[in-house]
Amino acid sequence: MNLREKLAQLIKDLEAAEDMDAAKAIKAEIDSVQEQIKFADEKKALLDSMKAAEPVAAKKPEAAPKTLGEYAAKNLDLDAVRNGSARSAGTGFGFKAATDPQVSQQMLETSRIVTDTAVRDLAIRNLFGSESISGNALKYFILGAKEGTNAPGTVAENGEKPQFHIVEGSDTATLQKIAGWFYETDELLEDNAFLKSAIDARGLYELDSAIEAYLMAQLLGTSGIGAVAQAPTADNIFGAIMQVKKDSDYNADAIVINPTDYQTLRLAKDGAQYIGGGYFYGPYGNGQLELQPRLWGLETVVSDAVTAGTVVVGAFKQGGSVITKAGAGARVEVVTGDHDDAIHNRVTVVVEERIALAVRAPKAFVKIAAA
């Protein structure tokens, strides 16, 4: 019998007491039990407060998924899709590329732990700067060549400060949705590894490739970029590097070249020697062999996002920015329910992202292409 049960019984005994002496004895015992209960309660409160003050061992954070496919495999609610209570399961917008330095905007809850470190042979997007906007479009100033001599410059006491001008105008970058879909077998719903592979290796690779083609098309369609009406030889590429410097005062940081044109440069020989290094050794037997060495020391992206016969040289980081929706990024959705999905044992995977390009300094880019 615990103390509270004992107290209840003593109270009953007190009610049944037949003389004063018996009642006084029971009352004394009740007082004693009440003191014991009070002590026990105070002791428990003290112990509880001490336990609350103890440091709580930090919970080991869950390893962040490395790709959107891995994130989707772990987090998509596919049970509802399997049992037919839902037609789709999506990640929600919010997958943010690791190369995006803008972290001031809070990402969506569904993607806060996602970091894209998937190895893909796609690099054009990373050449540009990166920004995010809360709206659907961004109006920005276009920087041109400086107008005004000796400005900024020294000013004599009580003299007039020299004027100069660098803004040529403005333009608006509007977010565009780049999207596509493909069929997969419904085994994807049962096999997380298969789901991850389908999204990363198939869906996201093709989405990234389409985005890079879109970015290059936007850049080459920008009014005011430099142009060299000559074949993309090594000499002309170097001339374009110097043209970027002369026209914009920026240092070129990258070159985008088609595989066909890169092959021509890569296989060029000085007599019997490959200038860029042979298939066993580096140039003239020195250093290590590189399959795709840089041209003139600049970041060199070999891509069919530019057509054969065209090379783009530019100060990409300073001259342009990839614009995305704040808190948003790539989205993947697994959809079922089309009239013949069940017959063909398949589901539909949708991938998409909203993106734009702002070319703030057109003179920071030069296009080389034979007339």
What pTM did the predictor assign? Answer: 0.67
Co-location of 309 and 230 in the same domain: yes
Which CATH number fits the domain that encloses residue 212?
Answer: 3.30.2400.10
Give per-residue pLDDT as tens, 155-174: 888 888 887 767 677 888 89
Co-location of 75 and 32 in the same domain: no
| CA dist., res. 329 & res. 95, Å (int) | 5
Asked whether residue 209 is domain-assigned, the answer is: yes
> Of 91-105, 183-197, 288-302, which one has max mean pLDDT?
288-302
Give per-residue pLDDT as tens, 309-358: 999 999 999 999 999 887 777 888 877 766 576 677 777 888 889 999 99
139-143, 177-181, 183-187, 271-275: segment of lowest average pLDDT: 183-187
Asked whether residue 102 is domain-assigned, the answer is: yes
| CA dist., res. 273 & res. 271, Å (int) | 6
Co-location of 12 and 152 in the same domain: no
Please, what is the average pLDDT of the chain? 80
Burial of 60 (0-12, 13-18, 19+ CB in 10 A): exposed
Co-location of 249 and 319 in the same domain: yes
Bridge partners for 350 per DSSP: 181, 333
Co-location of 159 and 24 in the same domain: no
Asked whether residue 82 is domain-assigned, the answer is: yes
Asked whether residue 60 is domain-assigned, the answer is: no
Co-location of 100 and 42 in the same domain: no
Look up residue 97 and give its DSSP letter: B
> Where in the sequence is the domain holding 300, given as residue range(s)?
68-369
Asked whether residue 58 is domain-assigned, the answer is: no
Asked whether residue 236 is domain-assigned, the answer is: yes
Residue 95 CB partners (closer than 8 Å, separation 6+): 68, 71, 111, 114, 116, 329, 330, 331, 332
Give per-residue pLDDT as tens, 201-251: 778 888 989 999 999 999 999 999 999 999 999 999 999 999 999 998 899
Question: Domains in the chain: how many in total?
Answer: 2
Co-location of 95 and 181 in the same domain: yes
- H-type alpha helices, the chain: 3-16, 20-53, 68-75, 78-82, 124-127, 192-197, 205-220, 234-248, 259-266, 316-319, 341-344
pLDDT at residue 60, as a whole number: 66
Does residue 1 carry a pLDDT above 90? no
Co-location of 167 and 261 in the same domain: yes
Residue 38 CB partners (closer than 8 Å, separation 6+): none
Co-location of 126 and 22 in the same domain: no
Co-location of 24 and 105 in the same domain: no
Confidence of residue 86 (pLDDT cuts 50, 70, 90): low
Co-location of 45 and 92 in the same domain: no
Asked whether residue 62 is domain-assigned, the answer is: no
Helix (H, G, I), strand (E, B) or coil at 365: strand
Co-location of 73 and 48 in the same domain: no
Asked whether residue 104 is domain-assigned, the answer is: yes
